[in-house]
Chains A and B, each alone.
Chain A
Amino acid sequence: MQLSTTLDVDKQNSVARVALVGALNTDTAPGFEKRLFEVLEGGHQLTVLDMKDLDYISSAGLRVIFKAAKQAKASGRRIAAANRKPHIDKVFEILKALPDMAVFANEQELDDYLDAMQRRSRGEES
């Protein structure tokens, strides 16, 4: 199985949304790692990994997300996961992966989070 990704950047909120479609496994992980780190170079405050259409993830794929989260955290930015399917969720659970990573169960939660962020930044400006 292959993996394809699409990138959607919301400059106003400094949010990058990477949608994953297919399988993130040993074969596809190296390519995804390259892609994800390119996105991180963009310096967005928040990078959301949209897993709505991700069917499969292995430890090789998790490793990439781990690595990215670590790097993002070190530079004060964040990586969040959204729309994890139950069996993807189970893999995260087993590995107790990224306990401090923001997770959004669906679009609504993500939108709420973005709204809250926006309000906060506006509040800080005034």
Chain B
Amino acid sequence: MAVHGEHRELVIIAANSQAASGGGSLTTRLIVILTLCAAVIIGLGVLVDYRLSRDDILERLQQESRETVRAVVIDIENWLDGVESSTLLLARVLEQRHYSEEGLVQMLRDAIEVNADIYGATIAVVPSQPGVERGFAPYFFRDDGALDYADLADPRYNYQRQAWFLDAVSAGEPLWVEPYFDDGGGRVLMTTYAVPVFRRDAGGERFLYAVVTADVPLAELHDYLQRLRLGDSGFGILLSRSGTVLSDRNSANIMRNFQDTLIQEQDQQSWQEMFEAALQGQVVARQLTCTGVPGRCVIRLGALESTGWPVGVVYSEDEMLAPLREFALKTALAGTLTLLLMAIAVAIVTRRLTRPLTELALASDRIAQGDLDAPLPAASGNDEVARLVHSFAGMKQDLKAYIEDLEVATARRSRLEGELGAARDIQMGMLPQGGEASERDEAFSLWARVLPARSVGGDLYSYFLRGRQLFFAVGDVSDKGIPAALFMARAISLIQQLAATATDPGEAMAALNDPLTSNNDNCMFLTVFLGILDLDRLELRFASAGHTAPSLVRGAEVMSLEQETGPALGLSPDLSFPVNVIQLQPGDRLAVYTDGFDEAFNEREEMFGVDRFNAALLAGRGLPVAAAGSDLFTRLAAHVGNSPQSDDITLLLLDIGDRDSGASQSAREFTRGPQLTGRVEAWLRQELGQHPVPEQTLGELILVAEEIVSNVDKYAGLAADATITVMAIAERGEVGIEVRDCGLAFNPLDQSGLTELGAATKNAVIGGLGLHLITALTDRQNYRRENGCNILRVTKLLEQPRE
């Protein structure tokens, strides 16, 4: 069990802490909501910033790429311009002046030596002129830093059939010839700027004198273009006017027509359009598929100003935009980091703000469990939480004060109850045999009981046997509770004084009235039945002071007695009371009772009534007088049900004659010590054995006696030489024992201390079993405390057929 309890406690603690910091808490909700808000705001800010910055970055990237292209193009232009102007200068000089062949060679050589831009150059004299019929074309070109010479007029070369010569001649103006391999000349792939030189003859006729050329190797052009780098995979391309590839990333494509280098057929049209547009001097850009360029491939194509050659770049837009992506990544990273810091800040601030609330919740749990000293969280300032803590502290204080008041009030009440209990004991002690009396004689058998509505009450009974005269009385003070009890105390002492001397019930009643009337400013009053029975003649003379008429059972009949009654006692002095006389017979049973009996109401507001009382009385006529009395109370209780008892109830039964013949009782004191229960058992067996008691009943009664006596012996706290009185009672129809000890007050019939029965062996509680046996093996149990002694009486009914 201990393990179980502990486990449950742990679970509760876990549940509490979950409630304090778990999913549903204010703290968590605040943190989540604030963080979400921050996330949205930061996200929007980052997005706007990115949008704005993106355009700037894009602009800058485009600028950069344009600059790169322009720089390369300008370099090439400058270079080619240099080549063109040098060549044109040479041509101009040749137009004006005449040189010998040696002079031409010398000039050509000088021109190349000073002009590093030029790879090779020739002055190809038109052979139709006098003196140069076989042609004259010296050629200088660079070869590993040195200057080489070749004679292009060599028949194996025959410059007059070369394209560069023929093109220049036919064009009649300077031009860049299509690239070619100069076999026998420079012996590299090259393109040539060819300028026709015209002279005027004596007649002023203009004639073609020579073609001056300067060569540019494609390899060098290619080098220039390769400097054009855009991104990792971007590259430059250069085409001739007829579409021959002069430079490309892939050197193998050089000297091929660009259309032949394309793999995708569908691109040919696009390329062609771009090529033509470039030749027109436009700058075009298209997005096409390109091999070796990742992502979106863009081609921009323009033309060189000098040569008109289409020049362009091919690049991956994705690579170009890589900085932008990097920027986006950085922005996202910064945003996330900001959000994270924000969330941490929100969590810290929220927790700090709500910590008093959390602590307050924990404190209130503890207070709810009764720990009123649970400390509350410290609250400074004047915010809502602080006000809450303050009002909570006030509530705690009030609660504490309230509980203390309640404790005081409870203590006061229990003291009052204790006093009332003592008062009840005292009051019951005024009645013969303490509120439930049993008296026998060979001529009569009497039983009486008072049941107060509250702790103390105003009902009374009394009896007194004087010689052969039985004096008995039943009274009922108006009202109930303490005032009635005090008035009853006056009355019972007066009645008991009278009982010793009274001979006439009417005079006795009058004698009782006068002292009760004096000093009765509260006008308390008392109804009394007062009877004197002559046991020899069985003549009953009785007077009634406003009391309910007694009932008489005779044979199978029951009746309420006719009576003349006087007024209630205590209201006015000097009254006289009529005396009623009735002749009783052996076997008669007389019942005197107070109105608490017949005027008891049930939950449906139905009175028990005299008729029901008489019927119940008749029904119990076969029972011994005590059993019949208890039976009447039981029937009354059954009628009343859960309605509270509204008035004190008293019943006195008087059986006439030999109804209880054979009744006997005997008592003996037993000193504590060895074999106590054995001695009790032996004596009881001897006493009760004289009566016709079945062996089993006797055995069970002896067992009960042992249980009671050993219980008293163990727990009553008696001195070692103290005595315990046992009484054996045998009456008609029942046997019983009464055990009397003057030890600690203990009511064994109080069910609250009983051990629970029927548990499995493992869990069974050992001990406390005797009390179960006492109640289970007897039919009636009665406990009272009298003069500082416990008196427990138990009775067993004998099997006996009812009439």
Chain A residues in contact with chain B, CB under 8 A? Answer: 1, 25-27, 56, 58-60, 62-63, 66-67, 69-70, 73-74, 87, 90-91, 94-101
Contacts and interface: CB of A to CB of B under 8 A. Distances in A.
B706 A25 contact: yes
Interface string B692-712: 000010011011001100100
Interface in B749-792: 757-762, 764, 766-767, 769-770, 772-773, 776-777
B700 A73 contact: no
Contacts of B700: 87, 90
B479 interface: no
B548 interface: no
B231 to A, nearest CB: 87
Contacts of B760: 99-100
Contacts, number: 77
B761 A100 contact: yes
B765 to A, nearest CB: 9
Nearest to A98: B761
A54 to B, nearest CB: 12
B690 interface: no
B678 interface: yes
A66 B764 contact: yes
Interface in B20-67: none
Contact of B766 (A58, A67, A90): A67
B117 interface: no
B677 A95 contact: no
A95 B773 contact: yes
Contact of A58 (B675, B707, B759, B762): B707
Secondary structure dominating the interface of B:
helix
Interface of B: 674-678, 681, 696, 699-700, 702-703, 706-707, 710, 757-762, 764, 766-767, 769-770, 772-773, 776-777
Contacts of A27: 674-678
Contact of B703 (A69, A91, A98): A91
A57 B589 CA distance: 41
Contacts of A87: 696, 699-700
A96 B773 contact: no
Contacts of A1: 678, 681
Contact of B757 (A26, A58, A96, A100): A96
A73 B761 contact: yes
A63 B768 CA distance: 9
B159 to A, nearest CB: 124
Nearest to A28: B678
Given A25-B678, A27-B676, A99-B758, 17 more contacts: A1-B681, A26-B676, A26-B677, A26-B706, A27-B674, A56-B703, A58-B677, A59-B707, A59-B773, A60-B710, A66-B764, A66-B766, A91-B703, A94-B772, A95-B773, A97-B769, A100-B760
Contacts of B773: 58-59, 91, 94-95
Contacts of A74: 762
A99 B760 CA distance: 6
B706 A98 contact: no
A12 B105 CA distance: 142
Contacts of B678: 1, 25, 27
A96 B707 contact: no
Given A1-B678, A25-B677, A26-B706, A59 B758 contact: no
A79 B700 CA distance: 26
A27 B675 CA distance: 6
Contacts of A91: 703, 773
Contacts of B703: 56, 58, 91
Closest 3 CB pairs of A and B: A96-B758, A59-B769, A59-B770
